[in-house]
Structure formats: C-alpha cells, structure tokens
Amino acid sequence: MNKVSALALGVALSLGLAACSQPVATDTTQPQAEQAAPALSSGINPANMDSTVAPQQDFFRYVNGNWLSSTDIPADKARWGSFDELRENAEKQVLAIIQELAATSHAPGSDSQKMADLYRSYLDEARINALGLTPLQGEISRIENVSNSAELSQYWGENQRYRFGTPLAVYVGQDQRQSDQYITGASQAGLGMPDRDYYIKDDERSKVLLAQYGAFIETLWQLAGWDNAGQAAENILAIETRLAKAQWSRIQNRDRNATYNKLTKAELAALAPGFDWTTFLAAANLNDIEHIVVRQPSYFEAFAKIQAEVPLAQWQQYLKFHLLRANANNLSEPFVNASFDFYGRTLSGLQEQRTREKRAVSTVESNLGFMVGKEYVARHFQPEAKARMDEMIENLRLAFKEAINDLEWMSPQTKVEAQAKLAKFNTKIGYPDVWRDYQCLTIAADDLMGNLRRSAECEYQRMTDRLGQPVNRDEWGMTPQTVNAYYSSTMNEIVFPAAILQPPFFNVDADDAVNYGAIGGVIGHEFTHGFDDQGRRSDGEGNLRDWWVPEDESQFRERAQRMIDQYSNFNPIDDLRLQGALGLGENIADLGGLTVSYKAYQNATKGQPAATIDGFTPEQRFFMGWAQVWRIKFRDEALRQQVITGPHSPGMYRVLGVLSNMPEFYQAFDVKPGDAMYREEDVRVKIW
C-alpha cells in the first residue's frame, strides 16, 4: 500500500535557478567581450496586487487582491487559480496531440491507434445516443440474475475490476511494514456522495443535499425506464446511509497505525462473519493470498451484518443504480446531463459542462495516461530540466539537513534517525525511466463502453500480478502531464511530473527570491511530507516503524496540536470551519517547506548584494512568490466540498496560516502586535 501525499491544489517547481548552478570557467587565454548580465525582474505581477490592503493585515489579498476582484471563474470550472491555469494549458497541449493522432489512420495495436480510437469512440456522440442503455444491458441482466448471497459475494468480487457498487475495495500495493513486498489491502467504499459526512450531518444544508441526491437516484432510475423510482431511491439511500454511519472519518483514515491491520483470511472471517470471503476473494483474483491488510476493522464487521440484513432485491437496486451512476457520463445525453446537474451544478457549482473534446481527452488520459505522457514529454519537456531540478532539490535537502540539526526540541538520537531518512530520499523528475506497457488493452473506435471495461480489466490484472513480484521502484503514481507532485512514504521518494516544470510557476526572468518562495517552498513541501504527522512514522526504507524518542514524540504532538487549533479557527464560508486535524499533514508540509526554502535561499545567496527590485527587498519578494502560487477563487459549493472532504487548506489559508507563524515574514514586512497577520510568539508553530 503505497501511501502518497500530494500537493493536489497545484504544484510549482523550478527548471533551475542561477544560484543552484556552479560558475562556468572561461578560457582566459582568449579575449573576452564584456557583456552586461540581463537585469532580472522582481517576478511580482503588480497588476494582481491590491495596494489598498496592508500586507500586515491580509497578505493574501495584498498580493492577489486585484486578481481576485477582476477574475471570473470559467463556467466549466469549480475553482480557478494559478495552478488551474497551468492545468488548462497542459490539457490544451494534450488535446492538440490527440487530435493530430485522430486525424490520420494508424497501424492496428499501435500506441497511436489506441489513443486515436479511444478519443474517436468518446466523440461519436451520435452512436452513443442511438445506443442508449444498450451497452449496459448485459451487466444489468447479470445483476438481475444474482439469486443468493453467495452469488452476491461473487459479483462484488468480480466487480472489483470496475469499481462500482462495491461497499468494499481491495487493492495490491506496497506493504507499509515490509516495503520491499506487495500485499493485498481492503478498504471501505460504496457511497455515491463524496464523503460519509454528507449522510450523517444534520444541518439544514446537508439535509437538502441528501434530498437532492435522492432525486438524482430517481432521475437515473426513470431514464433507465425502470418502475418504482421513488421506492428504489429510498432503499438505496437507506443502504448508503447505513454504510456511511459505519465508515471511518477522513481524520481517522489518516492514522497509518490504526489503518494497518494485517489479518489472515481466517482472521478476516472471524472479524466479519456472515460474508462469503472465500468466494469474494476468489472472484477478485485474490484466492491465493495469505494475508490482507484491513484499513477499517469496525467497518468490515458492520458491513458483514449489513449485507446479511439487507434483502437481496434491495442490493440489486443498489447495484443497478451504481452501474448507471458510474457510467452515466459515457451513456446517451440524458444520462450525461443528469450526472452533470447533480455532481457538477449541485455539488460543485459549475455553470457549464466541459466540452465533449475536453471530456474525451480526460477519458484518454484516464485510461492511457502514460502512453499519452510519452508523447507529451517528447514534445513539451526540455531534457536539461532534470539536471537543473537535481541541483535545486539537493539545495533544499541540504537546508533540511541543517534545519534538523538546529532543532532545539529534538534529541540527538532522533536527529540521527531523521537525517538517515532524509539522506535516503529518492527523487523522480519529469517522466518515468521505464514507460508503462498497454499491450493487454484492445481499443476500438466504435466501442466506448467496451474500451473502458477492457481498460479496467487490464489495469486490475496489472495490479494483482504484482503479488509475489519484487517491488517496482521505477513505477510512477502520476503521469508526466499531471500538474501535481507527491511524496510516497513506502517508496520514501518525492516525484515531480513534467507538466508542472514550466511557467507560470517558475519565472526564468526573475531573480532567485521569488522562485525560492514559490518553487522552493513547494519542493520543501514534498520533503516535509516525509516528516509530517504521518510521514514521520516511516523510516528511510519506507517501513512503518517508530524511530522516535518518546519525549521527542511528545514535543512533536504538542506543536502539531497548536497547528490543529490554529487552522480549526479559520472560517472560510458560512458556519464551516477548517478541519485542523484533517489538514494537519498538508499544513505541516506547507510551513516546513517554506521555512526550509527560506533557509535554502539564504544559503544560496550568501554574500550576494541584497538588491531591491520594483520597490521590494529580496525577503519581501520571497514571501510574495509564495502568495502568488496560491492565488485561487472557489465557487461556494466547491469551497464547502473542499472544507468537508479535502486535506488541503484553501489557498488563502496556505498563505495566511503559514506566514503568521514565520518570524522571517514578520521581519520582512514589519509585522507588529495588533496587526491581523500577527500571532503572539507563544502560539506560533515551529516544527521543522
């Protein structure tokens, strides 16, 4: 189980900084023409700033206020910010590649044929509309023919390949306690709403949303031409609500020790009796496993009871609805519109559906992502970026090493372990050394639903084939065209895909200060994930192991609790406050990442003149670079969903929360008691 922490709300990384490179020796025997070095810009966009807001009062609005006031969120977006712009750009580049491929014919079975024909199959709207529900009729009959609990267990096992209507999800990943091995894991699943809280919160808005979800169930049921839509929706909602009440919260699911419960098959059967685990696992192609890691034991115990108590006919209704829900966007126009109306308009506040071309590209990327990535890299990635990124990362690693040594609250014994882990961090930049193989997949231009089912089967087989094999350390968890980055605790590695190694996040014409504040802070963010409240539980080999002196762990927890309390006081909308405990890992990574990057910047520019550019000192430009990265606007519905389900704080709090804890920021902008950005020293957080 490869535990990954991703930046998720957008990532920025450097293609290289002048301060990271060694001076180039010149041949002094030859006459040299004197050339003036080009003047570097501040990297700050003054048009985005609101000078009527004092930086000491609201630094996020000071740097981004005019942009916030003048920018409209695109109609097909739930939010819009600097990293969303980069994602839009990457999507356009991929669309151009795929449209070029789709304009010509290709050899059967070739990469080009698969990408082109999958795109064509999604664009063939006339055929999709004419088929209606026909592509699902075989699966509908399969559900209707389930006649007993053993067959239901078998169906759920088989359906692990397609991931709809399965209250349990099984997977194969690295063993968190033996990271050189793969193991089977199992987790709670089965809801149609984004989180269990949508079912169990009793405020008025949550009740309205649940009713709207019930209406959505009815709509899909009616579109399918089935009778008794109201009763079916009531039964399905009742099942999902029972599952939701048994599920662990997102905060509970963050605990890596609590979610690691390695059981034999006999122990699993004893934990959750009454469910046919033997039939289920055999149907899931996991018959020969010896152990399974159960993430939420109490949920599995409850599920076993629920599956026995709910009548088979109601489970069939549940399965048929989730079959429709999971495939609605690939069916005829009425199904597509119904899905968008609920998941797009109601839950996310979208005003328009994305164009069919954009949705087609997303489908190709979801199913042939690394195949697309290979083309993307060939056209849009500069090879020298890897070497430059290596330099930047090593600069940040050195700063983190110094930061660990300087910690006054950590004992020498724990520091030795922390340094050992830091030294073993692996980095992956741009794209994989070994590209994923898609030979198992057949794609036809006139069979969208068949293409998607075969893709799911191919990927599931790829996953289960890992069992008994050496861990593939070349594997990537994100495609090169993904605008994001991540840290994997079991691999103990940080990964930076190609798509974020470009402007606007790195400004080649700007001086080092703004780039360290933006890009360096984000690289530091990924480093710090290895030492956040969950990342710190693993050692340098990626194994879940307690390497902390008890007194140091106590010190860490005390500081972490202060951060939880701080962020829990932020109130972005209505009566919703941030969940400080849910966002703890990301908030620690933000604060630690920017703190370490500031140290790296000081190291890199030591002895250089501190030039003021556009009226801003280097230290000021550093913090402004960070604030520019996180400029973002949300629709109200999307912001609520982010607060309820997302571990990442909304952009403004990634600025306000971090900077209010950094004395370096206070010094740069002369922040004093009474200023809104000011925190008393005894409540500021300093972890890394």
The CATH number of the domain holding residue 234 is 1.10.1380.10
416 & 520 share domain: yes
Residues 294 and 389 in one domain: no
Domain termination site, one of 280, 311, 342 = 311
Residue 54 lies inside a defined structural domain of this protein: no
Q: Is 340 inside a domain boundary?
A: no
Which token pair is 272?
């959750």
Question: Domain of 397: which CATH number?
Answer: 3.40.390.10
Question: Do 518 and 593 share a structural domain?
Answer: yes
Residue 548: name the closest of 535, 562, 566 by CA: 535
Counting Cα atoms < 13 Å in the Cβ hemisphere of 287 gives 6
* C-alpha–C-alpha distance, residues 653 and 656, integer Å: 5
351, 73 Cβ separation under 8 angstroms = no
So which residues are the catalytic ones?
526, 590
Cβ–Cβ < 8 Å for 417, 546: no
What's the confidence (pLDDT) of residue 8? 52
Same domain, 252 and 401: no
* CA atoms within 13 A of residue 137's CA, in its CB half-sphere: 6
Give the DSSP letter string of 288-312.
T-SEEEES-HHHHHHHHHHHHHS-H
- Confidence (pLDDT) at 33: 40
Residue 455, domain member (yes or no): no
Amino acid present at 37: A
Whether 148 is covered by a domain: the verdict is no
Distance CA 256, CA 574 (A): 32
| Count of structural domains, the chain | 2
Angle, CA of 358, 360 and 366, to the nearest 5° = 105
Query: Which residues are registered as beta bridge partners of 683?
Result: none
Distance from C-alpha of 177 to C-alpha of 190, rounded to nearest angstrom: 27
- In a domain? residue 405: yes
Do 518 and 594 reside in the same domain of the chain?
A: yes
> Parallel, antiparallel, or unpaired for β 178-188 and 168-175?
antiparallel
What 8-state DSSP symbol labels residue 346? I
Q: How many CB atoms lie within 10 A of CB 408?
A: 6
**Cα–Cα distances in Å, from 535 out to 179, 398, 612?**
14, 19, 38
Structure tokens at 559: 């500081």
Instruction: Say if residues 425 and 530 touch (Cβ distance below 8 Å).
Output: yes
State which of 251, 283, 311 marks the end of a domain.
311
Quote the tokens at residue 416.
């030795």
Residue 18 confidence (pLDDT): 30
485: left (phi over 0), alpha (psi -120 to 50) or beta: beta
Q: Which residue range(s) make up the domain with 87?
A: 4-20+78-93+382-432+476-683
Judge if 395 and 264 occupy the same domain: no
Say which amino acid occupies 154.
Q
Give yes or no: residues 394 and 280 share one domain: no
H or E, element range at 428: strand 426-430
Q: Indicate if 485 and 588 belong to the same structural domain.
A: yes
Q: In the numeric block, which tokens belong to residue 140?
A: 């509908």
> 3-state class of 116 per DSSP?
helix
**How would you label 94-125 residue by residue, b for 16+ Cβ within 10 Å and e otherwise?**
bbebbeebbeeeeeeeebbbbbbbbbbbbbbe
Same domain, 673 and 533: yes
At residue 38, the pLDDT reads 55
Do 486 and 631 reside in the same domain of the chain?
yes
Question: For the chain, first and last CA: distance in Å?
Answer: 27
**Same domain, residue pair 270 and 411:** no
pLDDT at 607: 86
Distances (CA, A) of 539 to 59, 203, 414: 37, 42, 11
Q: Is residue 523 part of a domain?
A: yes
552 and 656, same structural domain?
A: yes
Please give the Cα distance from 299 to 165 (Å, whole number): 16
Q: How long a stretch of residues is the chain?
A: 688
Nearest one of 19, 18, 43, 5 to 627, comparing CA atoms? 43
CA dist 651 and 350 (Å) reads: 19
Q: Pick from 257, 277, 311: which residue ends a domain?
A: 311
DSSP 41: B
Determine whether 492 is exposed, middle or buried from the number of CB atoms within 10 Å of its CB (0-12, 13-18, 19+): buried
Largest Cα span, the chain: 91
Instruction: Name the strands in the sheet holding 291-294, side by side, starting at the edge strand that comes first in the sequence.
Output: 168-175, 178-188, 291-294, 262-264
Taking the C-alpha atoms of residue 341 and residue 329, their distance in angstroms, rounded to an integer, is 11
Domain membership of residue 317 (yes or no) is no
pLDDT for the residue 39 = 66
Below-70 pLDDT ranges, the chain: 1-3, 6-39, 385, 503-504
DSSP letter (8 states) at residue 683: G
* 65 domain residue, yes or no: no
